[in-house]
Structure 1
């Protein structure tokens, strides 16, 4: 069975569903869990944001937001009775799928559990599909937890 489960988190309802599912698997099998948050590389492309933040300010805010997302996920893990470790990936040139694949290799994960927003149409074209990237690039099996229509508002 799976002994090392990597769970990417982004703070969305769909991500939380994947977190809960991954933690349940870990609790039932005694697996280790690592939580990962990847800072969104698209924010590095804009230079100055319309609200007057310079890139350094924006990057710092994104790191702080990522740390908060990881802390919240760690709290969920603790309340589920599952010990977890965490990693914040903030390499600006790395896409989500690449960050997850690299983290899975470095940690020797044997499963990735990820949420899928199920975006369609223009939303998928503009925002891409993180779950699809992970499916294509992960060196291990991937369990995709689908969100519901109401989760798409994340």
Structure 2
């Protein structure tokens, strides 16, 4: 049913749950997974632009997150590849929507941290952004209450 599944990953427990769900769906349908990491998400949220040593560390961290996700996919026996997006000023939802369209994804699987109240106002909801503008169906995997931070 779903042959091309896009999974935004950030290394969090919630993102890892989404990856696990996507891998199961891909295995069941004979599909493949693309893991995506958006480097600029924190810059957008904080208003802080990466530069110099900060960008180097951010890219190293992003590459580790992607490599770890690919290791999980390999262990699960699911074909997978990766995409690192570094587009200053672009919100996560738009990044995911653009990647899904360009790759011709059938499904996006995204984890939600379940923020509420002030945390949601300040940090926004990446999953909500994705749901609103994704060009394909979106499966949202909820994190545990302890992971939500409130």
The TM-score with structure 2 as length reference comes to 0.93
CA distance in 1, matches of 2:48, 2:109: 31
> Are positions 1:88 and 2:84 aligned together?
yes
1:70 Cα deviation from its structure 2 partner:
0.3
Q: Classify the secondary structure of the residue corresponding to 1:25.
A: helix
Runs of 4+ in 1 over 3 A off after TM superposition: none
Q: Classify the secondary structure of the residue corresponding to 2:54.
A: helix
> Unpaired segments of 5 or more residues in structure 1?
48-53
1:96 Cα deviation from its structure 2 partner:
0.4
Count of paired positions: 147
Whether the 8 Å CA contact 2:15–2:111 is kept in 1: the answer is yes
CA distance in 2, matches of 1:63, 1:109: 25
Give the number of the structure whose alpha-carbon radius of gyration is greater: 1
Encode CA deviations 1:17-70: one digit per residue, 9 max, x unaligned.
0000000000011012100001134437335xxxxxx72221221111110000
Query: What is the RMSD of the two structures over their aligned residues, measured on CA atoms?
Result: 1.4
Correspondence for 1:35: 35
> Are positions 1:123 and 2:125 aligned together?
no
1:2 Cα deviation from its structure 2 partner:
1.1
Q: Classify the secondary structure of the residue corresponding to 1:86.
A: strand
CA distance in 1, matches of 2:77, 2:42: 35
Range 18-27 or range 60-69, more displaced = 60-69
CA distance in 1, matches of 2:43, 2:52: 11
Correspondence for 2:25: 25
Correspondence for 1:105: 101
Choose from 39, 56, 62 the match for 1:66. Answer: 62
Choose from 53, 73, 78 the match for 1:77. Answer: 73
> Unpaired segments of 5 or more residues in structure 2?
none
CA distance in 1, matches of 2:132, 2:88: 20
CA distance in 2, matches of 1:100, 1:37: 9
1:12 Cα deviation from its structure 2 partner:
0.4
